[in-house]
């Protein structure tokens, strides 16, 4: 009996197969590099956004009805931290460890009066207030006219019958140090997104 030795063939990969493996490896490395770079960028952007939101543009949720119809309960707004405030702007101020939102009616140097029907007079002239739907003297225990001293503001809620504001001695004039900034943009609900008309 004759035994024949089988020939042993070692099969080497073709050039095309080697090129395919090299391309896959390059793509994998490139993909990982891009993914790492993207994740790093997203983390930096998120950190900057949080920093801006905390330091310059805090986001607040409205609670209550004192600013209706301008701002409604549970709406979400953006606050711009600033100390440059004008009559008519919506401001946010600190009161008894809470943040309240009202409208600036009187600025330093102004004289404010409100009649029994709820009409507001600034320096003797009736204030045009298209944002007020329910004129009301509200909870008022102060004596008019009120002369606003330096670094103080006279503030009112737009919903005059329910708002507790500078008409009440409990709140009184708001010191400029209490003011955090002004409300300028609504982000919720989406159908009302945009700048807030003063």
Whole-angstrom distance between the N-terminal and C-terminal Cα of the chain? 109
Selecting among 37, 66, 81, 176, the annotated active-site residue is 66
**Known active-site residue 182:** no
**Please, are residues 176 and 148 in contact by the beta-carbon 8 Å criterion?**
no
**Known active-site residue 66:** yes
- Angstrom distance (rounded) from CA 175 to CA 99: 14
**Please, are residues 163 and 157 in contact by the beta-carbon 8 Å criterion?**
yes
Selecting among 28, 65, 102, 166, the annotated active-site residue is 102
> Which residue, among 154, 165, 157, 166, has the nearest Cα to 68 in the 3D structure?
157
For the chain, helix (H) and strand (E) counts, in that order, are 1, 12
**Please, are residues 80 and 184 in contact by the beta-carbon 8 Å criterion?**
yes
Q: How many CA atoms lie within 13 A of 108 on its CB side?
A: 8
Residues marked as catalytic: 66, 102
């Amino acid at each position: 009996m004759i035994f024949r030795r089988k020939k042993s063939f070692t099969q080497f990969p073709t050039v095309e197969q080697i090129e395919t493996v090299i391309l896959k490896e390059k793509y994998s490395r490139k993909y990982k590099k891009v993914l790492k770079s993207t994740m790093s960028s997203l983390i930096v952007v998120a950190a900057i956004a949080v920093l801006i939101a905390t330091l310059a543009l805090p986001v607040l949720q409205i609670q209550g009805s004192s600013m209706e119809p301008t701002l409604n309960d549970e709406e979400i707004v953006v606050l711009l931290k600033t100390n440059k405030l004008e009559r008519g702007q919506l401001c946010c101020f600190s009161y008894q460890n809470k943040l309240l939102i009202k409208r600036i009616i009187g600025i330093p140097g102004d004289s404010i009066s409100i009649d029994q029907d709820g009409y507001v007079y600034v320096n003797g002239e009736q204030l045009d207030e298209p944002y007020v739907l329910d004129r009301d003297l509200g909870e008022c225990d102060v004596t008019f006219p009120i002369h606003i001293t330096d670094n103080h503001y006279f503030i009112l809620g737009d919903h005059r019958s329910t708002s507790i504001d500078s008409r009440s001695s409990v709140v009184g004039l708001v010191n400029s140090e209490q003011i955090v900034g002004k409300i300028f943009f609504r982000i919720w609900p989406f159908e009302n997104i945009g700048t807030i008309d003063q």
